[in-house]
């Protein structure tokens, strides 16, 4: 398949090329779409055969459900059998935005989109023009090959999807850089299934009690079934073996310098994920600055691109600094822990 890449100008109100993208979706095809979180791989969420193509293009296990994206509140009632109070409150406060909610599904949503579940995950992204033009809800998981870091630039989507999908909309770099927050509002007590830019602190401010799925905090033991099926798969993984180092900054830096030196002496190539604040303290290896501790949103924004850059450089091992688990830090650490396959060292 020949994948057409179109460049759109976000400053322009309605780029006419978006009609072409909407037609592809309407006709059951796949389009790479920029959103404020990461690039998504979009298809008609109500068409089970279109959803199936998403799983094929990503190499994604078919029990890992997709998120359906809508362009306005009017599209919600048809997709769900109930809108719980918590869902109403969060939609009012955070939609459009980087928040996905899990609702009990209605009959129009095929099991092929929900991975066989009776619930459906729904989000209204902040720039829903392509969805509105398509006139259907758009199933859109991240537009990466399953298991690779999520795409935050069109070139990442091209790397993973060229030849596999009809079209890619190049809208430049995404804003946030981490996937949406997912909260399940289908049960009695809302439950955070995936941390993102809408933080647990923000959810609790709106809803009061919100529980946290244990899968967010650490690796699951084999007998526990995660609420977000995606949680059980190794995710965001760079190709190199990655170690996440926690502790006082001084100890972290000297541990990484020592380990990097030993690896370099053994003939390995070494990547180090550091911050603006620490970059001058490292003595060897390939340094990548992930962002500034003073502005954690820069860390979120660069995280996946840095992992992909280390893939490009074909390093053998990566050492990364770690971050506080408060606010946006919870989402950052969730992704870094997964990228490291939970290989975490405390120093």
Which stretches of the chain bind ligand AMP, using CB under 6 A? 64-65, 67, 102, 114, 117, 119-121, 141-142, 179, 182, 193-194, 227-230
318 binds, among ligand AMP, Mg ion, none (CB under 5 to 8 A by kind): none
Q: CB of 308 within 8 A of CB of 156?
A: yes
The first and second tokens of residue 65, run together, are 């459900």
Q: CB of 226 within 8 A of CB of 219?
A: no
Q: Which is nearer to ligand AMP, 118 or 250 (CB)?
A: 118
Q: Nearest distance from residue 20's CB to ligand AMP, in Å? A: 24
Q: Nearest distance from residue 235's CB to ligand AMP, in Å? A: 8
Q: Give the position of tokens 């209605």.
A: 106
3 state SS of 220: coil
Instruction: Determine the angle formed by the axes of helices 296-313 and 154-161, rounding to 10 degrees.
Output: 40
154 binds, among Mg ion, ligand AMP, none (CB under 5 to 8 A by kind): none
Using rule CB under 5 A, residue 199 touches Mg ion: no
119 binds, among ligand AMP, Mg ion, none (CB under 5 to 8 A by kind): ligand AMP
Please state whether beta strands 181-184 and 191-194 pair in parallel, antiparallel, or not at all (unpaired): antiparallel
The C-alpha atoms of residue 174 and residue 298 are separated, in whole angstroms, by 12
The C-alpha atoms of residue 171 and residue 35 are separated, in whole angstroms, by 9
Name the helix (H) or strand (E) containing 256. helix 249-265
Q: Which is nearer to Mg ion, 71 or 142 (CB)?
A: 142
Q: Nearest distance from residue 155's CB to ligand AMP, in Å? A: 19
228 binds, among Mg ion, ligand AMP, none (CB under 5 to 8 A by kind): ligand AMP
Q: Which is nearer to Mg ion, 237 or 290 (CB)?
A: 237
The C-alpha atoms of residue 19 and residue 120 are separated, in whole angstroms, by 27
Q: Nearest distance from residue 13's CB to ligand AMP, in Å? A: 28
Name the DSSP letter for residue 65.
Answer: P
Q: Nearest distance from residue 187's CB to ligand AMP, in Å? A: 11
121 binds, among ligand AMP, Mg ion, none (CB under 5 to 8 A by kind): ligand AMP
Q: Among residues 100, 113, 142, 302, which is the contact residue for Mg ion, using CB under 5 A?
A: 142
- Vertex 331, ends 325 and 336: CA angle to 5°? 85
For binding to Mg ion (CB under 5 A), which residues are involved?
Answer: 142
């Amino acid at each position: 398949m020949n994948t057409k890449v179109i460049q759109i100008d976000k400053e322009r109100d309605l780029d006419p090329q978006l009609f072409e993208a909407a037609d592809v979706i309407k006709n059951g095809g796949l389009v790479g779409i920029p959103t404020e979180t990461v690039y998504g791989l979009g298809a008609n969420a109500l068409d089970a055969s279109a959803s199936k193509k998403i799983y094929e293009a990503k190499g994604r296990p078919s029990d890992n459900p997709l998120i359906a994206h809508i362009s306005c509140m009017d599209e919600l009632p048809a997709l769900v059998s109930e809108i719980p109070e918590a869902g109403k409150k969060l939609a009012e406060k955070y939609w459009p935005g980087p928040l996905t909610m899990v609702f009990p599904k209605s009959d129009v949503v095929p099991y092929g989109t929900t991975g066989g579940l009776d619930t459906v995950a729904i989000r209204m992204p902040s720039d829903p023009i392509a969805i509105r033009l398509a006139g259907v809800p758009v199933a859109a998981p991240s537009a990466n090959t399953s298991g690779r870091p999520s795409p935050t630039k069109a070139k990442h989507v091209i790397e993973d999807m060229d030849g596999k999908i009809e079209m890619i909309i190049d809208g430049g770099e995404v804003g946030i850089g981490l996937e949406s927050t997912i909260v399940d509002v289908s049960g009695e007590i809302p439950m955070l299934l995936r941390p993102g830019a809408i933080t647990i602190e923000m959810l609790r401010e709106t809803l009061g009690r919100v529980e946290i799925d244990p899968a967010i905090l650490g690796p699951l033991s084999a007998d526990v079934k995660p609420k977000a099926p995606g949680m059980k798969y190794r995710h965001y993984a760079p190709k190199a073996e990655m170690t996440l180092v926690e502790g006082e900054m001084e100890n972290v830096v000297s541990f990484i310098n020592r380990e990097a030196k030993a690896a370099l002496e053994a003939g390995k190539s070494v990547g180090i994920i550091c911050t603006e604040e620490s970059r001058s303290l490292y003595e060897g290896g390939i340094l990548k600055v992930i962002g500034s501790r003073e502005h954690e949103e820069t860390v979120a924004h660069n995280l996946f691109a840095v992992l992909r850059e280390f893939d490009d450089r074909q390093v053998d091992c990566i050492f990364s600094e770690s971050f506080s688990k408060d606010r946006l830090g919870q989402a950052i650490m969730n992704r870094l822990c997964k990228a490291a396959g939970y290989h975490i060292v405390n120093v």
